[in-house]
Amino acid sequence: MRVTLTAVLCVAAVAGTGAFAMAGAQELSDIPAAFVDVGLGARPMGVGGAVAAANLGPESVFYNPAGLAPATGAAESGPTAFSVTHGEQMGLVPYTAASASHTLGSGITLGAGIIHSGDDVLTETTILIGAAREIIATPWLAGRSVGLGVTARGRRASFGNNESTDGQVTGSASGFGVDAGALVPLTEAVTLGLSGRDIFNSLTWDSSASGSYSENVPAGLTVGLRAVPHGHVAVEVDIEKSLRLDNPDRVFAGIELSLWNVADLRGGYRKVLTSADSDEYTAGAGASLDAGSMRLRVDVAYVFGQLENTMRFSLGAEL
């Protein structure tokens, strides 16, 4: 089983680079907000979304699946963990996401997640299943290993179900996507993160006005460097390269300060590189406490957006 999973992860990571170019030739849907990435989880958004090289536990299924497994020397995580997050984009569109992870005795960590957003005008649901494990010991760092992960996404949407006049356009969509990622420790304090989102994907729309047609969700490649100079401060910078000519590249940066292993303070920054007026700043905080054999977490984040400020709220548990 270990050999099979390792082979699948390696093939997905390598073969995915060939699919990046194909995604750039596809047309986007007539619904520009379909399955848009708004940023999920209060902890990731507290640091501006700069988490490509972080071990986030179950929330890694949304960002870099390699972060599902608790790496040696990284942030502690129990063998089973859960997280639920909620926010309202632009103060109008509700987003709710839940994720869970469990580490098996073989060292493989399985993850699952669900994202539900929207209303009767446009409702979207994404289900994610992921797996990760550390497979290659770094010869220059005793006890640290390279981790690989892969996530499969299933997507479903419906639109036009709100009350309206005659001639209302209705329809639905369904599709899939595959993410792959890696975490590579460079030194005791620095980790390189690589994440390819939707390296293979397809989405088929069925509209009462336009019939059926297929497209690709825009793919992207994120490279991040995370530095933990000591156990209380972590700094990360990510660059997301869009693999479509008509989608912009983005940069993310964040800092997290841990206080006595019970509280965290966070700050972040993100920007669309091709736009001079796209700067966004984030702030967040978190707290954790032990309740018997369980460790509970609560996190909040506030995003100072260009059009509307938004808040994220997350609850989590580690067993």
Q: What distances in angstroms separate CA 268 from CA 43, 71, 220, 281, 285, one per listed residue?
A: 11, 24, 21, 6, 12
CA contacts within 13 A on the Cβ side of 36: 12
Amino acid letter for position 237: V
Residue with tokens 């289900």: 127
Pick the CATH number of 2-318 from 3.40.50.300, 3.40.50.2300, 2.40.160.60, 1.20.1250.20: 2.40.160.60
Q: How many residues does the chain have?
A: 319
Q: Which pLDDT value is given to residue 255?
A: 97
The pLDDT value given to residue 166: 67
> What is the chain's pLDDT, residue by residue, as a tens digit (319 residues)?
443 344 333 434 433 433 333 333 334 444 445 677 788 899 999 999 999 999 988 999 999 999 998 754 344 445 899 999 998 877 778 899 999 999 887 779 999 999 999 887 889 999 999 999 988 777 778 777 889 999 999 999 998 877 766 677 888 999 999 999 999 999 989 999 999 999 999 899 888 877 888 877 888 999 999 999 887 999 999 999 988 777 789 999 999 999 988 899 999 999 998 877 789 999 999 999 988 888 999 999 999 977 778 899 999 998 8
Q: What is the pLDDT of residue 165?
A: 63
| Model pLDDT, residue 19 | 37
pLDDT of residue 71: 57
